[in-house]
Chain A
Amino acid sequence: DAGVIQSPRHEVTEMGQEVTLRCKPISGHNSLFWYRQTMMRGLELLIYFNNNVPIDDSGMPEDRFSAKMPNASFSTLKIQPSEPRDSAVYFCASSLYGTSGGNEQFFGPGTRLTVL
Protein backbone atom coordinates (compact mmCIF):
# COMPACT_ATOMS: atom_id res chain seq x y z
CA ASP A 1 0.00 0.00 0.00
CA ALA A 2 1.38 3.39 -0.94
CA GLY A 3 2.00 5.79 1.89
CA VAL A 4 1.20 9.47 1.95
CA ILE A 5 2.26 11.03 -1.34
CA GLN A 6 3.40 14.62 -1.62
CA SER A 7 4.35 16.64 -4.65
CA PRO A 8 6.54 18.28 -5.58
CA ARG A 9 9.40 17.06 -3.40
CA HIS A 10 11.33 20.25 -3.97
CA GLU A 11 10.11 23.68 -5.02
CA VAL A 12 12.19 26.77 -5.65
CA THR A 13 10.32 29.95 -6.42
CA GLU A 14 10.72 33.68 -6.29
CA MET A 15 9.16 35.98 -3.77
CA GLY A 16 5.65 36.97 -4.75
CA GLN A 17 4.90 33.84 -6.73
CA GLU A 18 2.06 31.47 -5.93
CA VAL A 19 3.04 28.06 -4.61
CA THR A 20 0.80 25.00 -4.47
CA LEU A 21 1.74 21.91 -2.51
CA ARG A 22 -0.16 18.69 -3.04
CA CYS A 23 -0.96 15.70 -0.88
CA LYS A 24 -2.61 12.34 -1.40
CA PRO A 25 -3.43 10.66 1.92
CA ILE A 26 -3.45 6.93 2.55
CA SER A 27 -6.57 5.37 1.09
CA GLY A 28 -9.25 4.92 3.75
CA HIS A 29 -7.86 7.51 6.13
CA ASN A 30 -10.32 10.19 7.19
CA SER A 31 -8.01 12.82 8.73
CA LEU A 32 -5.36 14.90 7.02
CA PHE A 33 -2.81 17.23 8.55
CA TRP A 34 -0.47 19.88 7.14
CA TYR A 35 2.72 20.66 9.10
CA ARG A 36 5.62 23.02 8.57
CA GLN A 37 9.13 22.32 9.86
CA THR A 38 11.91 24.87 10.24
CA MET A 39 15.08 24.97 12.28
CA MET A 40 13.86 27.98 14.22
CA ARG A 41 10.30 26.89 15.02
CA GLY A 42 10.47 23.11 14.80
CA LEU A 43 7.39 21.18 13.72
CA GLU A 44 4.19 23.23 13.57
CA LEU A 45 0.67 22.05 12.78
CA LEU A 46 -0.87 24.40 10.24
CA ILE A 47 -4.32 22.89 9.67
CA TYR A 48 -6.16 19.60 9.82
CA PHE A 49 -9.23 18.11 8.22
CA ASN A 50 -11.66 15.42 9.32
CA ASN A 51 -13.75 13.88 6.54
CA ASN A 52 -12.60 16.66 4.17
CA VAL A 53 -13.80 19.41 6.54
CA PRO A 54 -11.27 21.84 8.05
CA ILE A 55 -11.41 21.43 11.82
CA ASP A 56 -8.57 23.55 13.15
CA ASP A 57 -6.70 26.15 11.11
CA SER A 58 -5.33 28.08 14.05
CA GLY A 59 -1.80 27.29 12.97
CA MET A 60 -2.09 28.90 9.55
CA PRO A 61 0.34 31.82 9.71
CA GLU A 62 -1.68 34.41 7.84
CA ASP A 63 -4.11 34.97 5.02
CA ARG A 64 -1.47 34.21 2.43
CA PHE A 65 -1.89 30.55 3.35
CA SER A 66 -4.93 28.52 2.37
CA ALA A 67 -5.70 24.81 2.31
CA LYS A 68 -8.40 22.78 0.64
CA MET A 69 -9.51 19.19 0.61
CA PRO A 70 -12.00 18.75 -2.24
CA ASN A 71 -12.24 14.99 -1.74
CA ALA A 72 -10.95 12.21 0.47
CA SER A 73 -7.92 11.53 -1.69
CA PHE A 74 -6.48 14.97 -2.34
CA SER A 75 -5.50 18.14 -0.52
CA THR A 76 -3.63 21.30 -1.42
CA LEU A 77 -1.77 23.92 0.56
CA LYS A 78 -1.41 27.21 -1.29
CA ILE A 79 0.77 30.19 -0.48
CA GLN A 80 0.01 33.39 -2.35
CA PRO A 81 2.09 35.50 -2.48
CA SER A 82 5.09 33.60 -1.20
CA GLU A 83 7.81 35.24 0.93
CA PRO A 84 11.35 34.13 1.82
CA ARG A 85 10.26 33.42 5.42
CA ASP A 86 7.94 30.72 4.06
CA SER A 87 10.99 28.61 3.19
CA ALA A 88 10.58 25.35 5.10
CA VAL A 89 9.77 21.69 4.73
CA TYR A 90 6.03 21.11 4.53
CA PHE A 91 4.69 17.72 5.60
CA CYS A 92 1.34 16.15 5.02
CA ALA A 93 0.13 13.37 7.31
CA SER A 94 -2.99 11.24 7.45
CA SER A 95 -4.68 9.05 10.03
CA LEU A 96 -7.76 6.95 10.63
CA TYR A 97 -9.56 8.88 13.33
CA GLY A 98 -11.92 7.08 15.65
CA THR A 99 -10.16 3.75 15.84
CA SER A 100 -8.92 2.20 19.03
CA GLY A 101 -5.34 2.22 17.83
CA GLY A 102 -4.44 5.65 19.04
CA ASN A 103 -4.92 7.68 15.87
CA GLU A 104 -1.39 7.18 14.62
CA GLN A 105 -0.41 9.70 11.97
CA PHE A 106 1.47 8.61 8.87
CA PHE A 107 3.73 11.23 7.35
CA GLY A 108 4.64 11.91 3.75
CA PRO A 109 8.21 12.59 2.64
CA GLY A 110 7.70 16.35 2.67
CA THR A 111 8.07 19.21 0.21
CA ARG A 112 11.15 21.37 0.63
CA LEU A 113 10.16 24.92 -0.33
CA THR A 114 12.72 27.61 -1.01
CA VAL A 115 11.49 31.13 -1.68
CA LEU A 116 14.20 33.40 -3.07
Chain B
Amino acid sequence: AQSVTQLGSHVSVSEGALVLLRCNYSSSVPPYLFWYVQYPNQGLQLLLKYTSAATLVKGINGFEAEFKKSETSFHLTKPSAHMSDAAEYFCAVIKAAGNKLTFGGGTRVLVKP
Protein backbone atom coordinates (compact mmCIF):
# COMPACT_ATOMS: atom_id res chain seq x y z
CA ALA B 1 0.00 0.00 0.00
CA GLN B 2 1.10 3.53 -0.66
CA SER B 3 0.68 6.60 1.49
CA VAL B 4 1.69 10.24 1.41
CA THR B 5 2.21 12.54 4.38
CA GLN B 6 2.43 16.28 4.02
CA LEU B 7 3.77 17.98 7.13
CA GLY B 8 1.80 21.09 7.96
CA SER B 9 -1.68 21.74 6.64
CA HIS B 10 -0.97 25.48 6.56
CA VAL B 11 2.25 27.36 5.85
CA SER B 12 2.72 31.12 6.03
CA VAL B 13 5.66 32.77 4.27
CA SER B 14 6.67 36.33 3.58
CA GLU B 15 6.92 37.56 0.02
CA GLY B 16 10.47 36.94 -1.17
CA ALA B 17 11.16 34.24 1.41
CA LEU B 18 11.89 30.58 0.78
CA VAL B 19 8.93 28.27 0.31
CA LEU B 20 9.47 24.74 1.65
CA LEU B 21 6.66 22.19 1.60
CA ARG B 22 7.40 18.76 3.00
CA CYS B 23 6.23 15.46 1.58
CA ASN B 24 7.11 11.95 2.71
CA TYR B 25 5.83 8.82 1.05
CA SER B 26 5.73 5.11 1.61
CA SER B 27 5.66 2.69 -1.26
CA SER B 28 6.56 -0.95 -1.62
CA VAL B 29 7.85 -0.41 -5.14
CA PRO B 30 9.69 2.47 -6.82
CA PRO B 31 7.16 5.23 -7.22
CA TYR B 32 6.46 8.15 -9.44
CA LEU B 33 5.88 11.35 -7.47
CA PHE B 34 3.97 14.50 -8.28
CA TRP B 35 3.26 17.94 -6.90
CA TYR B 36 -0.01 19.58 -7.88
CA VAL B 37 -1.18 23.12 -7.14
CA GLN B 38 -4.79 24.20 -6.68
CA TYR B 39 -5.64 27.88 -6.91
CA PRO B 40 -8.92 29.05 -5.39
CA ASN B 41 -11.97 27.75 -7.22
CA GLN B 42 -9.91 25.85 -9.75
CA GLY B 43 -8.91 22.27 -10.47
CA LEU B 44 -5.52 20.76 -9.71
CA GLN B 45 -2.62 21.65 -12.00
CA LEU B 46 0.62 19.72 -12.28
CA LEU B 47 3.65 21.58 -10.95
CA LEU B 48 6.25 18.88 -11.51
CA LYS B 49 6.80 15.14 -11.50
CA TYR B 50 9.53 12.61 -10.74
CA THR B 51 9.63 9.52 -12.92
CA SER B 52 12.99 7.92 -12.02
CA ALA B 53 15.15 10.18 -14.11
CA ALA B 54 17.00 13.09 -12.47
CA THR B 55 16.37 13.30 -8.74
CA LEU B 56 16.15 17.10 -8.82
CA VAL B 57 13.07 18.04 -10.76
CA LYS B 58 12.26 21.52 -11.97
CA GLY B 59 8.68 22.56 -12.51
CA ILE B 60 6.64 25.54 -13.49
CA ASN B 61 6.60 28.91 -11.73
CA GLY B 62 10.11 28.47 -10.30
CA PHE B 63 9.32 25.43 -8.15
CA GLU B 64 11.56 22.42 -7.82
CA ALA B 65 11.59 19.22 -5.80
CA GLU B 66 14.24 16.68 -4.89
CA PHE B 67 13.61 12.96 -4.66
CA LYS B 68 15.55 11.43 -1.77
CA LYS B 69 15.09 7.69 -1.65
CA SER B 70 16.98 7.26 1.61
CA GLU B 71 14.60 9.70 3.32
CA THR B 72 11.50 8.69 1.31
CA SER B 73 10.94 12.38 0.75
CA PHE B 74 9.98 14.66 -2.12
CA HIS B 75 10.00 18.16 -0.66
CA LEU B 76 8.93 21.13 -2.78
CA THR B 77 10.86 24.40 -2.72
CA LYS B 78 10.87 27.82 -4.30
CA PRO B 79 13.64 30.31 -3.46
CA SER B 80 11.47 33.42 -3.41
CA ALA B 81 7.72 33.44 -2.77
CA HIS B 82 5.38 35.61 -4.81
CA MET B 83 1.90 36.66 -3.83
CA SER B 84 0.63 34.57 -6.73
CA ASP B 85 1.95 31.41 -5.02
CA ALA B 86 -0.89 31.52 -2.50
CA ALA B 87 -2.69 28.26 -3.14
CA GLU B 88 -3.05 24.71 -1.88
CA TYR B 89 -0.35 22.21 -2.80
CA PHE B 90 -0.77 18.47 -3.00
CA CYS B 91 1.89 15.78 -3.10
CA ALA B 92 0.90 12.51 -4.76
CA VAL B 93 2.44 9.10 -5.41
CA ILE B 94 1.75 6.36 -7.94
CA LYS B 95 3.37 3.01 -8.52
CA ALA B 96 5.50 3.04 -11.65
CA ALA B 97 3.15 0.64 -13.42
CA GLY B 98 0.05 1.84 -11.66
CA ASN B 99 -2.81 4.13 -12.54
CA LYS B 100 -4.15 5.33 -9.21
CA LEU B 101 -2.74 8.40 -7.51
CA THR B 102 -2.55 8.56 -3.73
CA PHE B 103 -2.71 12.16 -2.54
CA GLY B 104 -1.45 13.78 0.62
CA GLY B 105 -3.75 15.94 2.68
CA GLY B 106 -2.58 19.17 1.09
CA THR B 107 -0.73 22.23 2.39
CA ARG B 108 -2.31 25.64 2.10
CA VAL B 109 0.25 28.40 1.51
CA LEU B 110 -0.38 31.96 2.60
CA VAL B 111 2.00 34.64 1.32
CA LYS B 112 2.32 37.78 3.42
CA PRO B 113 3.33 41.08 1.85
Contact = CB atoms under 8 A, between A and B. Distances in A.
A and B pair up: yes
Interface of A: 4, 31, 33, 42-43, 45, 48, 50, 55-56, 91, 93, 95, 97, 100-110
Q: At the interface, is chain A mostly helix, strand, loop or mixed?
A: strand
- Among B36, B50, B98, B101, max chain A CB count under 10 A is at B101
A99 to B, nearest CB: 10
Contact of A101 (B36, B51, B100): B51
A92 to B, nearest CB: 9
A4 B32 CA distance: 22
B100 A104 contact: no
A90 to B, nearest CB: 11
Interface in B60-113: 90, 94, 98-101, 103, 105-106
Contacts of A55: 99
Interface residues of B, number: 20
A108 B43 contact: yes
Contacts, number: 49
Contact of B90 (A43, A93, A102, A106): A43
Contacts of A48: 99-100
Interface string B35-51: 01000001111100111
A50 B103 contact: no
B25 interface: no
A15 B78 CA distance: 45
B45 A104 contact: no
Interface in B19-40: 32, 34, 36
6 cross-chain pairs, A with B, having the tightest CB-CB distances, nearest first:
A107-B43, A102-B51, A102-B32, A107-B44, A97-B99, A109-B43
19 contacts: A33-B101, A43-B103, A43-B106, A45-B101, A56-B100, A93-B43, A97-B99, A101-B51, A102-B34, A102-B49, A102-B50, A102-B51, A103-B32, A103-B98, A106-B46, A107-B36, A107-B43, A107-B45, A110-B42
Contacts of B49: 102, 104
